[in-house]
């Protein structure tokens, strides 16, 4: 017996059958996929827009999987719709939306980098969004990005210096955004990212400034003289002198010496809590029993701890010994109210003392470390040893910290003179 079904009824049966597998779509070779846009026209940024289903799944399994994925989608949409609208930006093809998705997506590396790195990322993203945010990525070419680079590097004022690092960092950030968007399967982002692989953009020159041993000594003496003259508080002079001497002697980063303030989090080991902020750092009195300091640096590539015998450092040790016993608790470098010093205070007070000591403004606090590395190289220290002290993973980076080449040039010249003298003594001709 043949059952005849009217067209309208057939459509209803078909719709009923599809409703047991919401989101199901067949691709090439009849392979099954679950597609968010098959369920709703606007998935509101749902991270799993397309999920491949098992090729050998029967109707029962397909139905169960589709219903499971659809339930997650519905829950996502409900969550995004709370409090009057979506919480996350939806990609609409513009540069601005791609930048925002990169910053907001829960799996973006933006949330995994350190706080100071994320700040530099944010600075570049603001430049991109403010200047080219409305551009559609599908209409962009390499020529456009090269033009942006030229605009971004222009001086901020008439006759000012070009901002090469600003432009380079912004382009690097745009590349990162494109790669993340390509990973989310936006084809126009993948195409432009691939094309930009063949293009290089000029980067600013490495710093050449250093803080020499003579300048460090002058800094320390000037700080103490300012105390005697009544122009600088004794605690401020003492702690800034220790900070600069520690960076120079131990070849450590400023962050390793002064630590870091950040918004408060729960269960942070050995943190100092003040209001809604916490301070974390290793350069603490409790960590230097017997004047030996064992610590991990702020760069994670060097997993083993560094160990310092602080009595071996003729510039730093006397400054530490001079600290009154009642102040030997918590952070070694303190600021206002006896709390660990903040970055801005450290930089401001450093410049105040440095100017009084006749140190040029072009020499920064961070150049103290480079000065120590340069001194070590000129004293004949092995490059591998200097690299280990600086906790660098690559020699190229270590060489950037060795600022002066005059000693190397003199060494080469002396070696050539020695060879010529030997040749002449041995009867060589000129």
Q: For the segment 364-376, what is each residue's pLDDT rounded down to a tens digit?
A: 998 999 898 888 8
Average pLDDT of the segment spanning 86-103: 88
Cβ neighbours for 111, distance < 8 A, ≥ 6 positions apart: 118
Rounded distance, CA 426 to CA 96, Å? 73
Structure confidence at residue 205 (pLDDT): 73
Under CATH, which number does the domain 213-408 receive?
1.10.443.10
Mean pLDDT of all residues belonging to the chain: 86
Please give the residue that has the higher pLDDT: either 190 or 423.
190
CB-side neighbour CA atoms (13 Å) of 311:
4
Judge whether residue 10 has pLDDT over 50: no
Residue 261's nearest CA partner among 283, 279, 282, 284 is 279
Backbone dihedral angles phi then psi of residue 405, each to the nearest 5 degrees = -115, 0
Structure confidence at residue 411 (pLDDT): 64
Cβ neighbours for 101, distance < 8 A, ≥ 6 positions apart: 45, 88, 89, 90, 91, 108, 180, 181, 184
Please give the residue that has the higher pLDDT: either 394 or 304.
394
Q: Looking up tokens 């700040």, which residue turns up?
A: 119
Structure confidence at residue 196 (pLDDT): 95
Q: How confident is the model at residue 77 (pLDDT cuts 50, 70, 90)?
A: confident
Judge whether residue 187 has pLDDT over 50: yes
pLDDT tens-digit profile of 217-235? 999 999 999 999 999 999 8
H, E, C per residue of the chain: CCCCCCHHHHHHHHHHHHHCCCCEEECHHHCEEEEHHHHCCCCCCCCCCEEECCCCCCHHHHHHHHHHHHHHHHHHHHHHCHHHCCCCCCCCCEHHHHHHHHHHCCCCHHHCCCHHHHHHHHHHHHHHHHHHCCCEHHHCCHHHHHHHHHHHCCCCCCCCCCCHHHHHHHHHHHHHHHHHHHHCCCHHHHHHHHHHCCCCCCCCCCCCCCCCHHHHHHHHHHHHHHHHCCCCCHHHHHHHHHHHHHHHHHCCCHHHHHCEEEECCCCCCCCEEECCEEEECCCEHHHCHHHEEEECCCCCCCCCCEEEEHHHCCCCHHHHHCCCHHHCCCECCECHHHCECCHHHHHHHHHHHHHHCCCCCCCCCCHHHHHHHHHHHHCCCCHHHHHHHHCCCCHHHHHHHCCCCHHHHHHHHHHHHHHHHHHHHCCCCC
How many other C-beta atoms can be found within 10 angstroms of the C-beta atom of residue 83? 7
Q: How confident is the model at residue 15 (pLDDT cuts 50, 70, 90)?
A: very low
For residue 211 the two structure tokens come to 């803080």
pLDDT tens-digit profile of 128-167? 999 999 999 999 999 999 999 999 999 988 888 899 999 9
Structure confidence at residue 412 (pLDDT): 67
Average pLDDT of the segment spanning 240-259: 94
Structure confidence at residue 269 (pLDDT): 81
Structure confidence at residue 404 (pLDDT): 66
Rounded distance, CA 218 to CA 239, Å? 15
pLDDT tens-digit profile of 282-291? 999 999 999 9
Rounded distance, CA 189 to CA 135, Å? 13
Structure confidence at residue 204 (pLDDT): 76
Are 16 and 37 a contacting pair, CB within 8 Å? no
Structure confidence at residue 8 (pLDDT): 43
Q: What region, left, alpha or beta, does residue 205 occupy, with left being phi > 0 and alpha being psi -120 to 50 degrees?
A: beta
Structure confidence at residue 46 (pLDDT): 80
Q: Which of 34-43, 60-69, 184-193 has the highest mean pLDDT?
A: 184-193
Structure confidence at residue 402 (pLDDT): 82
Q: Looking up tokens 């912004």, which residue turns up?
A: 170
β-strands 277-280, 272-274 pairing? antiparallel
Domain ranges of the chain: 16-83, 95-196, 213-408
Judge whether residue 12 has pLDDT over 60: no
CA distances from 84 to 87, 104, 145, 261, 330 (A): 9, 18, 37, 34, 46
pLDDT above 70 coverage of the chain, percent: 89
Judge whether residue 116 has pLDDT over 70: yes
Please give the residue that has the higher pLDDT: either 216 or 114.
216
For residue 187 the two structure tokens come to 């084809």
pLDDT tens-digit profile of 289-336? 999 998 876 664 444 567 899 999 999 999 999 999 999 999 999 987
pLDDT tens-digit profile of 256-271? 999 999 888 777 888 8
Lowest mean per-residue pLDDT among 43-47, 65-69, 139-143, 158-162: 43-47
Lowest mean per-residue pLDDT among 172-176, 304-308, 359-363, 390-394: 304-308
Structure confidence at residue 398 (pLDDT): 83
């Amino acid at each position: 017996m043949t059952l005849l079904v009217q067209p309208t009824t057939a459509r209803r049966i078909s719709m009923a059958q599809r409703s047991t597998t919401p989101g199901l779509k067949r691709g090439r070779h009849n392979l099954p996929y679950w597609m968010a846009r098959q369920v709703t026209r606007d998935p509101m940024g749902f991270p799993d827009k397309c999920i491949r289903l098992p090729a050998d799944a029967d109707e029962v399994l397909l139905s169960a999987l589709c219903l499971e994925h659809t339930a997650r989608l519905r829950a996502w949409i409900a969550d995004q719709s709370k409090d009057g609208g979506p919480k996350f930006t939806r990609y609409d093809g513009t540069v601005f939306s791609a930048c925002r998705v990169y910053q907001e997506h829960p799996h973006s590396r933006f949330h995994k980098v350190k706080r100071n790195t994320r700040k530099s990322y944010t600075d570049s993203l603001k430049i991109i969004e403010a200047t080219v945010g409305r551009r559609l990525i599908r209409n962009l070419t390499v020529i456009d990005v090269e033009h942006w680079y030229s605009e971004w590097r222009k001086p901020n004022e008439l006759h000012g210096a070009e901002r090469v690092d600003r432009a380079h960092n912004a382009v690097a950030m745009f590349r990162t955004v494109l790669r993340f968007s390509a990973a989310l399967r936006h084809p126009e982002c993948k195409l432009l990212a691939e094309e930009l692989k063949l293009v290089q953009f000029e980067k600013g020159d490495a710093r050449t400034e250093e803080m020499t041993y003579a300048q460090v000594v002058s800094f320390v003496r000037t700080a103490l003289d300012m105390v005697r003259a009544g122009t600088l508080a004794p605690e401020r002079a003492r702690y800034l002198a220790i900070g600069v001497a520690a960076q120079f002697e131990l070849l450590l980063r400023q962050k390793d010496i002064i630590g870091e303030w950040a918004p408060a989090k729960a269960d942070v080991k050995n943190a100092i809590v003040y209001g809604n902020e916490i301070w974390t750092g290793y350069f603490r009195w409790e960590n230097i029993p017997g004047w030996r300091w064992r610590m991990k640096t702020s760069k994670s590539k060097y997993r083993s701890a560094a160990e310092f015998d602080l009595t071996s450092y003729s510039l730093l040790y006397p400054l530490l010994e001079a600290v009154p016993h009642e102040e030997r608790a918590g952070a070694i470098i303190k600021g206002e109210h006896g709390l660990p010093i903040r970055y801005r205070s450290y930089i401001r007070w450093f410049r105040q003392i440095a100017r009084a000591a006749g140190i040029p403004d072009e020499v920064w606090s961070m150049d103290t470390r480079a000065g120590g590395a340069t001194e070590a190289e000129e004293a004949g220290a092995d490059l591998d040893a200097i690299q280990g002290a600086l906790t660098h993973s690559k020699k190229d980076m270590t060489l950037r910290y060795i600022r002066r080449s005059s000693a190397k040039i003199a060494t080469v010249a002396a070696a050539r003179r020695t060879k010529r003298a030997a040749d002449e003594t041995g009867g060589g001709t000129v």
